[in-house]
Chains A and B, each alone.
Chain A
Amino acid sequence: MLAWTIYLSFAGALVEALLPKDRHGLARGLALALAVAGLVIAVAAYAASMGQGTAVITDAVWVPSMGIHYLLVADGISRVLVLLTGLASVAGVLFSWNIELRTNQFFAFYLALIGGVYGVFLSGDLFLLFIFYEIAIVPKYFLIAIWGSTRREYGAMKLALYSFVGSAMVLIGLLAAYAMAGSHSTTLADLAHAGLPVSMQMGLFPLVFVGFAILAGMWPFHTWAPTGHVAAPTAASMLLAGVVMKLGAYGCLRVGIGLFPHGLDPWGFTFLGLGSWRDVFALLALIGIVYGALVALAQSDFKFVIGYSSVSHMGFVLLGLMTLNQIGLDGAVLQMFSHGVIAGLLFAIVGRIVYDRTHTRQLAELETMHLARRLPFAAWAFVIAGVASMGLPGFSGFVAELQVLVGSWRANPWWTAAAGIGIIVGVAYTWRALQKAFFSDRLPTPEEHPKTGWHDLGAITWPEITGVALLGISTLVIGLYPRILLDSIEPAVKALLAGGVQ
């Protein structure tokens, strides 16, 4: 059943592309219907598979000579991320309701991106996964370059180049692994059991891991993320932060750690206190957490605050992966879901609800607009998204980050201490943005006044309310009852850990 999420999205992309240009309503309606269908399938499949392990959805030989299979598989981790993709895609369509420029093409690219993402999360074959991964990159470029804002060509090109460099690294690693394994099969399961030599794993692991981690926003390869997020149209930044960054993290987990578990073993010597790739990447993750938070604190552009906060929060995912223990990995997967929902909500508020009305994202200008009074819905939605992003208990971020912290403590207490600093700075930058953008009492100075006149901001529309409700309720429900997801994540992580990772 889950395979239909992929087929429906691609079919939808094709139909959208063939629609007449001026049928905006039809294009929107079709996109919404397909996104909702995807979400319904994801939810139904999730509910039906509660407590089940890995399930094969489709298995067909594709290129017999090379052992490539068209193999779709779902385990607890995939199902959670498919669920996230479903939520993010519906919300993204809702927050793109006001797109008037080449509407059908916008949704064609949008649905193609979604289809690629579903495909990555469900692929059980390495080459299939790689193909879906590449498919997801191309529409991203066009979405930003055509429908974007601030420096959109630059942002789009930077994002595409970073992605392709990452893909190239992954591809080299994969080809080498395939050649060495000699099993004439490219399914993940076969490659994982091929017994690659330890030295080989140690060489290939960093290549593949970094290749994927670029897309997950790992410091110092994160610089595409803030510029890309800012340049992208709202729905694209929601998808970028919400699910595309998760593609990277998912690749790190499923391919990097899954295929090369011994790549994380100690080198046998220490260099600057680092004794393994695990130490190296944990350090980079921690720098990302703290650096992303500190930079977010210093931004004057509202959307950049959220862009850098994504770098910081994705650092928790990478840190969780490097703990290599049950609770840390559980936390990493839960954080992928949680950040996907929360970042989507934040970008929606900043990009769609606020920017499309005020036409400025400068915090200094927003300060004089008294948005809490003029756009109370936006203000209170941001309060909810903001406290969720800060990691207040009751929202999904708290449980996820708590589990990562507990896991990293068991791996190395200093990791927890450093990540704790990131959380505290996280409270500060979120609160700063909240106060400045919505709750400031500052009156405009005479020089500012003409620029920021009190023009009509326009009423909040139903797609905005629906989208905020969808994402806000998701983070609250998962925060209050995380077992909905953890009951699926835990067995899948356990199986992954038993498959060779120490």
Chain B
Amino acid sequence: MSDMIIGANAGFPILTVLTVLPVVGAAIALFSGRHARGVALLTALASLILSLVVWIRLPGDGTIGLSEFHQWIPSTGVDYHLGVDALGALMLVLSAIVTLMSIDAAIRVHHQPGLFYALVLLLESGLIGSFTALNFFHWFLFWELSLIPAFFLIKLWGGPKRGPAATQFFVYTIAGSVALLLSFLAVFLSTGSMDFLALADLAANGTLAQMVVGHLGAVMPWLAIGVLAGFAVKVPLMPFHTWLPNAYAEAPSPVTMLLTGAMSKMGVYGLLRIALPIFGPQIAAMRTPLLVLAVLTVVMGAWAAAAQKDLKRVFAYSSVNHLGYCLLGIFVLAIPVSGAAAQASQAAALNGVILQMFNHGLTAAALFWFIAMIQMRSGGLRGVDDFGGLRKPAPVFAGLMGIALFSSLGLPGLNGFVGEFLIFRGVFPLSWISAAISVLGLLVTAAVILTVIQKVFTGPVPERWAAFPDLHSSERMALAPVIGLMLLLGLLPQLILDTVNPTVVNLLAHWRF
């Protein structure tokens, strides 16, 4: 793959522009007082348009395109190297959509709105940078850049226990980052390179392991564990998830949308772009414990969601469960296979993972948006048992949130179904027992979501909610494209799959376990 690096600076540096745009928007928003929201919306909209241009201009063969390459700090192997394939581009589109939704949802920020929107836009830049970087230094810069605004968004605008939640979030993520940094420092000391593509090439022909052993001894498994730890915290993989429910619950809902909709995908993306290509054999050696943890994440995430009384915590654990499917679909790829049927299963699983990343981002962000709207109407209440019968006073609200809930449940015809179906379709032939146990997660999730619908929207209407306001027209207009996209992708998943599939084939062809 490394032959693509050279001479790749073709034309307009769209990825750089896409990364810098939110930073510029943030600077303007910071100083534009009450116009900050408008500035932020315009910036996010422009980002979305640019990211769609990236998606359209992707190379058709699934390889990495739109590359930019410049020397940066030669002495430390640091280059400015950007590029995306369908995986990266899809994450760009998702980040742009979720950021736009988040800013849209943040109508109740009265305290320092300029700073709030500036931090959200900085976070978007962090996301975009980490989804386009192909050099460790550059990637790490944006990985960390996204952490700082996220911390302050929780710390300054969060709920009553925001302080401890923000600190816990920060400490867990920084610990994971340090592990990642140390692993890549060791790889750099052994190879002199920080370029993901070059390192993947070295890993594919086996020289990476030899070089590391030659310089540092038999530490390769530990380096893989360090990298996995960094991503496991971010996604999260149980048992590294304990920061998540607190952070998701205490963060203001628009920020939770960003955390679950886009930031959690940084971890999944890192596994696919960085961990598997560079540490494939080491991950393959650990696949059994990793699969056990992934299955645990799926099942326990769903189970924990069932035990929650706070709607935000219900969906926080439900997010753990949904991302567990992604982890399951990824770790199952490390099982050695031969034959066309097994390879087709692998391709199905990976297609499913990438689709699930997008769909979960969209659906989870929408669900937290609905929670924000509920809180706005209820004076802050968001307990599962605080409501009842809301579909009578607010039928449109109930209908639209119902669509999002059924999408989360994985109802066929909505976007959530296809990804999960493809993951199970791929996992079952490769590790039937993982698939069989994980089905429990599907069942429990269905029960959780149906319970939420039942308790919140059906039954008798309590006196106090008799005048629960329905969605007003501006909310309907804001939500319409999101719900529309859920229906569209449920019916026409090939809009994404047709572009993603060549990248899946390309990725699978380059990984060596």
Taking Cβ atoms with an 8 Å cutoff, the residues of A that contact B are 326-327, 330, 372, 376, 383, 387, 392-394, 399, 402-403, 405-406, 409-410, 413, 416, 420, 424, 427, 431, 435, 439-441, 481-483, 486, 490
Contact = CB atoms under 8 A, between A and B. Distances in A.
Nearest to A482: B73
Interface string B144-161: 110010001001100000
Interface stretch (B182-190, B328-336, B337-345, B424-432): B182-190
Contact of B76 (A392, A402, A413): A402
Contact of B75 (A394, A416, A486): A486
Nearest to A326: B75
Given A439-B155, A490-B75, A393 B189 contact: no
Interface string B136-147: 010011001100
Given A393-B140, A409-B185, A486-B73, 16 more contacts: A326-B75, A327-B75, A376-B112, A393-B137, A393-B141, A403-B75, A405-B185, A406-B185, A409-B189, A416-B185, A424-B178, A439-B163, A440-B163, A481-B72, A483-B74, A490-B75
B210 interface: no
Contacts of B144: 392-394
Nearest to A439: B155
A270 to B, nearest CB: 23
A371 to B, nearest CB: 13
A383 B75 contact: no
Interface in B119-149: 137, 140-141, 144-145, 148
Contacts of B174: 427
B182 A483 contact: no
Contacts of A402: 76, 185
8 contacts: A392-B148, A394-B144, A402-B185, A403-B76, A410-B189, A420-B182, A439-B155, A482-B73
B188 A406 contact: yes
Nearest to A330: B75
A71 to B, nearest CB: 31
Contacts of B182: 420
A405 B76 CA distance: 11
Contacts of A427: 174
Interface of B: 72-76, 112, 115, 137, 140-141, 144-145, 148, 152, 155-156, 163, 167, 170, 174, 178, 182, 185, 188-189, 216
Contacts of A406: 76, 185, 188-189
Contacts, number: 53
A314 B178 CA distance: 22
Contacts of A435: 167
A327 B178 contact: no
A372 B189 CA distance: 41
B118 to A, nearest CB: 10
A483 B156 CA distance: 37
A405 B155 CA distance: 33
A410 B76 CA distance: 13
Contacts of B156: 372, 439
A399 B148 contact: no
B407 to A, nearest CB: 37
Contacts of B216: 413
Contacts of B155: 439
Nearest to A416: B185
A290 to B, nearest CB: 15
A383 B148 contact: yes
Nearest to B170: A431
A372 B148 CA distance: 15
5 interchain residue pairs of minimum CB distance: A393-B141, A394-B141, A393-B140, A409-B189, A392-B144
Main secondary structure on B side of the interface with A: helix
Max chain A C-beta neighbours (<10 A), residue from B76, B148, B167, B170:
B76
Max chain B C-beta neighbours (<10 A), residue from A326, A394, A405, A435:
A394
A370 B152 CA distance: 15
A435 B164 CA distance: 11
A383 B115 CA distance: 14
Max chain B C-beta neighbours (<10 A), residue from A393, A402, A406, A486:
A393
A387 B167 CA distance: 15
A399 B189 contact: no
Nearest to B147: A392
B75 A441 contact: no
Contacts of B73: 399, 482-483, 486
A464 B185 CA distance: 38
Nearest to A423: B178
Contacts of A392: 144, 148
Nearest to B182: A420
B92 to A, nearest CB: 20
Nearest to A372: B156
Nearest to B152: A383
Nearest to B192: A406
A77 B239 CA distance: 49
Nearest to A427: B174
Nearest to A481: B72
Contacts of A490: 75
Contacts of B185: 402, 405-406, 409, 416
Contacts of A405: 185
Max chain B C-beta neighbours (<10 A), residue from A392, A403, A413, A440:
A392
A328 to B, nearest CB: 11
Given A372-B156, A424-B178, A435-B167, A394 B76 contact: no
A376 B174 CA distance: 25
Nearest to B217: A413
A482 B75 CA distance: 10
Contacts of A387: 148
A392 B141 CA distance: 7
A330 B76 CA distance: 11
B338 to A, nearest CB: 40
Nearest to A417: B182
Contacts of A482: 73
Contacts of B163: 439-441
A383 B118 CA distance: 15
Nearest to B115: A376
Nearest to A399: B73
B170 A394 contact: no
Nearest to B188: A406
A424 B170 CA distance: 13
Nearest to B139: A393
Contacts of B76: 327, 399, 402-403, 406
A7 B170 CA distance: 50
A413 B186 CA distance: 10
A441 B166 CA distance: 13
A493 to B, nearest CB: 11
Contacts of A424: 178
A387 B73 CA distance: 21
B191 to A, nearest CB: 12
A435 B185 CA distance: 29
B154 to A, nearest CB: 11
A330 B141 CA distance: 21
Nearest to A395: B141
Nearest to A402: B76
B177 to A, nearest CB: 10
B122 to A, nearest CB: 12
A394 B167 contact: no
Contacts of B141: 393-394
Contact of B145 (A327, A372, A394, A481): A394
Contacts of A394: 141, 144-145
Nearest to A420: B182
A394 B115 CA distance: 21
Contacts of A431: 170
A181 to B, nearest CB: 34
A474 to B, nearest CB: 17
A236 B467 CA distance: 65
A276 to B, nearest CB: 23
A272 B360 CA distance: 59
Nearest to B77: A406
B130 to A, nearest CB: 12
A412 to B, nearest CB: 13
